[in-house]
Structure 1
Amino acid sequence: MAVPYKIPTDDDREGSPKPHPDEGWLATSPHGAEQIVTQADQSLHRGLSQRHVQMIAIAGAIGTGLFLGLGGAIAKGGPLGALLGYIFVGVIVCCIQYALGEVSALMPVTGSFVRHAELLVDPAWAFAIGWNVVYGAFLGVPSEIAAAVVMIQYWTDINAAVWVTIFIIVSALVAIALIRVYGEIEFVFALLKLLLVVFVVILGLVIDLGGVPGRPRLGFHHWKEGLFVEYIASGAWGRFLGFWAVMTSAVYSFSGVESLAMASAETKNPRHNIPKACRRVFVRITIFYLAAVLVVGMLVSASDPRLQNDSGTAATSPFVIAASDAGIKAIPSVVNAICITSAWSASNQSMLAGTRTLYGLAAKGHAPKVFLRTSSWGVPYMCVAAQTAVSFLAFMCVSNSALAVFYWFLNLTAAGVLVSWIAIAFNHIRLLQALRAQRIPTTELPWHNRITYFSSWFALLSCILILLTGGFAVFTTGNWAPASFVSSYLDIPLVLCAYGLYKVTRRTKIIPLTDVPVRQALEEARNDPENVPIPKSRGWRRLNILWA
């Protein structure tokens, strides 16, 4: 039997950093091995329920990329090319979610796949992935705040600094509050976005089918103009490049679904709630995206110049274009308002991912121990303070030229999404290989699906391919752009350098499969008092398609 955890008291938590694991902070098993779920994890409060976890993932993946970015996808790939691109990426997301769910059910730790990498692959790999996530998440907050300010300027000319200040203050207050407060706020925002998606899809169908007086029925009229669009090249090769460009951008539209496990230590019954969320969230997100892509392709021609509008407001939304053409004037303001909440929601989620990953790095000695300080209600307030300080970069949007420079700088971390997905798939493959090496049946896992070994390999290879070809346009004749090349590929050498430097300085080794602590993790899962099945929904609750 594993030695029970010593739950930290408020006196243990408040105002004092926890010692490094090597100093005896982690609970140990009878054999002296460190616990997988550490006492540092237990300094955080379990305030997120099943509905919070699922809606947090939905909130992160449905944002300005859906409402404003679909127009560019249609313009590059055509109606069918865009649809196929999103279907392909949706399959990859499915594989990633299942891989993440299986590992997180066994090891529900804050920092999610970053901490998993240390246990399953190599501490140096965890260090590189962790700081890559922190870097991207820290820059994500000022980016989303700046995006929200740009959209606010659709209505008003008030100085941008006022709005930046308001968003930073509110974001910091949400981050420092109880994790349950954050969960409820994200729940409301996610619900708003889901309702808007349903609304614009239904509105699109009404417009397309001739439900607006005085407007003809469109049907698949725009599909007849061409299912694919030639991009960069001509002929079949050009149409394929258009499809590939859509698929590459779709990855970033789906980004955020991997963050639902970042706060595993703050989730109630994570060994059941996290897998359940992973299993269902990708289905809902994929359906929403595919329905939206299909409707947009029916409403707006791929050759419409308004799809390439770079105003940064609701004017770029294909739904707004279709509604405006149909004479419906209120839609732009509605879409713009929801996009603002979407941007702020994404900012909050970046704050969660950044602070919890930094906390996880500190718990393993990969970051200063000061970031282990938590408040009496279990919030890592020093991590929040650090990320809030970085958020002041959003004031760069006060100057248009500074905003352009800032967005270019932010694009340097775009490949980080794929790096995270690669890490998730590889962690899962290593877990299954360790089970085989130690002759432990996969049926011992808290949650497992037989196809995940093959699906994780598919996701791993697909993500590597997309990562390496993400900036393919710069290699074509007449399209070389140093800034685009750097923004597409700089993240790769940054991660590799972080991995190499840590490996050389700490002399770490890739963990042998026979040494991966699978048996210990299984023992902890069996002795976890919260590890109980979730009752199935009954009655009218079974009709709930959002979080049941």
Structure 2
Amino acid sequence: MASNGVGASGGRDLDPDSSKNVFLDDSALVGEGQDGVRIVDEQEENNLSRSLGQRHIQMIALAGAIGTGLFLSLGGALQTGGPLGALLGYAFVGLVVCAVQFALGETSALFPVTGSFVRHAELLVDPALGFAVGWNVVYGTYLSVPSEISAALVLIQYWTDKYPALWITLLILVTFLVGIIFVGIYGEVEFFFALLKILLVVGVVIMGLVIDLGGVPGQERIGFRYWKNPGPFVEYLASGSLGQFLGFWAVMINAVYSFAGVESLSVAAAETKNPRQNIPKACHRVFARVSIFYILAVLIVGMLVPSNDSALNDQSGTASQSPFVIAAARAGIKAVPSIINAVVLTSAWSASNQSMLAGTRILYGLAIKKQAPEIFLRTTKWGIPYVCVLFQTAVATLAFLSLSNNALTVFYWFLDLTAAGTLVSWSVILFNHIRLHQALKKQGISRQELPWHHWWTPYSSRVGLFFCILFLLTGGFSVFIKGNWDTATFISSDIPIVIILYTGWKLFKGTNIQTLESIPIQMALDEMNDNPEEKITPPKGWARLNFLW
């Protein structure tokens, strides 16, 4: 990694000779007759509070990526792809996540704005793309809160099925309180939740090794016997080699949504201390840690439970469907189910908190660019966009629909429309990065002038974008297999809302795609060099052993 010119926080004037934020020339950035675009708006600089440190944003991303998918969904991956198919699927998607994280880090270091890749799309591609992706993310994150609260209710019902409405009310209330108070408190809450999840991952991996190697009294050594029988791959929807490949491909597509959340670590860049240094560092570290945790977990699961085990058919939504719980129960370890269920419950709550942060900050960023009502710009004296929080809390009351089966069906239909949102976001991040490097070449600016860069990222972004689009187009491939057609699955998988939003805003506003010459790279570099951030000192002593943040 090369890094030079540690830059300024995004909250200073773009023109060093001016005391106010600068509007770029209309025709130069968005086409003649369009609204001017500026990199960091004075409202986000003056009204938001920089209270999130590097450890906060890194652990926020870890908390988002290590969720219910890791603890509850690995059994489905094992059933679909087999132990080797599941391992290869998660490893391959981990490489795509690597490309996404490094692209996001390089772009965010140059443009550390609230809304992250949504605002980057406006600066680097087209204002209509920023509008479309922004509202697509807002739609997805706003619906994610009631969805996660409904999931938390299911987890609570592992212990008791009494007072469901009360539990929903309490979960909405605590999510609102975390969202409305000082953002530093949110950072500490998510930091604690992330530590719980990491400790659980480490614990179940160690437990799995002990069980597999015969360390439990009365249990024989398992080793890799399930890789031999029933085998390393599973035939899925077809027979022979084609069926095994389809199983591997299905695992990859499902793995994408297990990794969902890693892209949100920079949405609160205007609330992050030293964002040009801390956000790239978090992007670099989160990828490695998340990938290691997932790959280790998938490897251990494939050793503990055979892919044809009938216990994997459990779809209760609680800890009982976890393959770790299945293995622990058979080994006579009785405390594990409740421990896993409790930590997964915090995962659901953590996911709703993260959706609250991402949704409110991106909506705030859209309001800054006049792509959402100005009322969403109102903030509390401690820097929280409270109108955005109140609106998202109102949407969270949709969780009460889970008390009615018919209403819940309608709610999940709307939720299915967000299924492709993660891949859309990753694709935009990678495309933004490609455009950035194209503009660097066009304007004759060296990559070495960026605050954070790698020689291979221009190539990895292109490869990553190819596979993201491929995953997006093949996400509903199962409906094309004979006897598996499902209209709702086809629509939710293959027609992202972002296409409709992009076309509508482009026709309504008549926006133009940014020319490579007009992308304000030099302006951002001047700001970075003229107003450098305070240099973060490297850790010393025992702190150097910390591998989490």
Query: What TM-score does the superposition give when structure 2 sets the normalisation length?
Result: 0.93
1:538 matched to which residue of 2?
540
2:3 matched to which residue of 1?
none
SS at match of 1:239: helix
Contact 1:26–1:35, Cα closer than 8 Å, also in 2: no
2:514 matched to which residue of 1?
511
Contact 2:9–2:528, Cα closer than 8 Å, also in 1: no
TM-fit CA distance, 1:110: 0.4
Q: More displaced, 477-486 or 82-91?
A: 477-486
Contact 2:180–2:384, Cα closer than 8 Å, also in 1: yes
What percent identity do the matched residue pairs reach? Answer: 62
TM-fit CA distance, 1:290: 0.2
1:177 to 163, 181, 190: 181
1:130 matched to which residue of 2?
134
Q: Relative to structure 1, is the Cα distance of residues 437 and 96 closer, same or farther in structure 2, using a 3 angstrom cutoff?
A: same
TM-fit CA distance, 1:158: 1.3
2:385 matched to which residue of 1?
380
Partner amino acid, structure 1, of 2:22? T
Alignment of 1:149-548 (within 5 A): 149-225=153-229, 226-491=231-496, 494-529=497-532, 531-547=533-549
Contact 2:103–2:430, Cα closer than 8 Å, also in 1: yes
Q: Relative to structure 1, is the Cα distance of residues 361 and 30 closer, same or farther in structure 2, using a 3 angstrom cutoff?
A: closer
In structure 1, how many angstroms separate the alpha carbons of the residues matched to 2:476 and 2:426? 18
In structure 2, how many angstroms separate the alpha carbons of the residues matched to 1:358 and 1:100? 19
Partner amino acid, structure 2, of 1:348? N
Q: Relative to structure 1, is the Cα distance of residues 31 and 460 closer, same or farther in structure 2, using a 3 angstrom cutoff?
A: closer
1:13 matched to which residue of 2?
none
Contact 1:106–1:521, Cα closer than 8 Å, also in 2: yes
TM-fit CA distance, 1:483: 1.9
TM-fit CA distance, 1:533: 3.3
1:12 matched to which residue of 2?
none
TM-fit CA distance, 1:3: 13
Q: Relative to structure 1, is the Cα distance of residues 343 and 483 closer, same or farther in structure 2, using a 3 angstrom cutoff?
A: same
In structure 2, how many angstroms separate the alpha carbons of the residues matched to 1:276 and 1:52? 12
In structure 2, how many angstroms separate the alpha carbons of the residues matched to 1:433 and 1:101? 17
TM-fit CA distance, 1:35: 4.2
Describe the superposition over 1:150-190 as per-residue Cα deviations: whole angstroms up to 9, x where unpaired. 11001012121111100101110110001100000000000
Task: Return 5+ residue gaps in structure 2 as ranges.
Answer: 1-6, 27-35
Contact 1:62–1:254, Cα closer than 8 Å, also in 2: yes
1:81 matched to which residue of 2?
85
Q: Relative to structure 1, is the Cα distance of residues 228 and 184 closer, same or farther in structure 2, using a 3 angstrom cutoff?
A: same
Q: Relative to structure 1, is the Cα distance of residues 290 and 424 closer, same or farther in structure 2, using a 3 angstrom cutoff?
A: same
1:49 matched to which residue of 2?
53
1:14 matched to which residue of 2?
none
In structure 1, how many angstroms separate the alpha carbons of the residues matched to 2:302 and 2:410? 32
Q: Relative to structure 1, is the Cα distance of residues 308 and 260 closer, same or farther in structure 2, using a 3 angstrom cutoff?
A: same
Describe the superposition over 1:482-509 as per-residue Cα deviations: whole angstroms up to 9, x where unpaired. 1221221232xx2112111111111111
Alignment of 1:23-38 (within 5 A): 27-28=21-22, 35-38=38-41
Describe the superposition over 1:20-63 as per-residue Cα deviations: whole angstroms up to 9, x where unpaired. xxxx9971279998641221221210000010010000000001
In structure 1, how many angstroms separate the alpha carbons of the residues matched to 2:199 and 2:410? 34
Contact 2:416–2:492, Cα closer than 8 Å, also in 1: yes
SS at match of 2:221: coil
Partner amino acid, structure 2, of 1:160? P
Contact 2:79–2:312, Cα closer than 8 Å, also in 1: yes
Contact 1:26–1:34, Cα closer than 8 Å, also in 2: no
In structure 1, how many angstroms separate the alpha carbons of the residues matched to 2:248 and 2:108? 33
TM-fit CA distance, 1:401: 4.0
Structure 1 residue 147 corresponds to structure 2 residue 141: no
TM-fit CA distance, 1:311: 1.0
In structure 2, how many angstroms separate the alpha carbons of the residues matched to 1:26 and 1:198? 50
Describe the superposition over 1:236-266 as per-residue Cα deviations: whole angstroms up to 9, x where unpaired. 0000000000000000000000000000000
Query: Alignment length, in residue pairs?
Result: 528
Task: Return 5+ residue gaps in structure 1 as ranges.
Answer: 9-23
In structure 1, how many angstroms separate the alpha carbons of the residues matched to 2:527 and 2:281? 20
Structure 1 residue 110 corresponds to structure 2 residue 110: no
SS at match of 2:390: helix
In structure 2, how many angstroms separate the alpha carbons of the residues matched to 1:25 and 1:346? 40
SS at match of 1:541: helix
Describe the superposition over 1:56-101 as per-residue Cα deviations: whole angstroms up to 9, x where unpaired. 0000000100000000000000000000000000000000000000
Describe the superposition over 1:503-539 as per-residue Cα deviations: whole angstroms up to 9, x where unpaired. 111111100000111111111111334x243221121
1:19 matched to which residue of 2?
none
In structure 1, how many angstroms separate the alpha carbons of the residues matched to 2:10 and 2:120? 20
In structure 2, how many angstroms separate the alpha carbons of the residues matched to 1:5 and 1:160? 45
Partner amino acid, structure 1, of 2:493? S
TM-fit CA distance, 1:116: 0.3
Q: Relative to structure 1, is the Cα distance of residues 124 and 29 closer, same or farther in structure 2, using a 3 angstrom cutoff?
A: closer
SS at match of 2:158: coil
Alignment of 1:7-26 (within 5 A): none
TM-fit CA distance, 1:309: 1.2
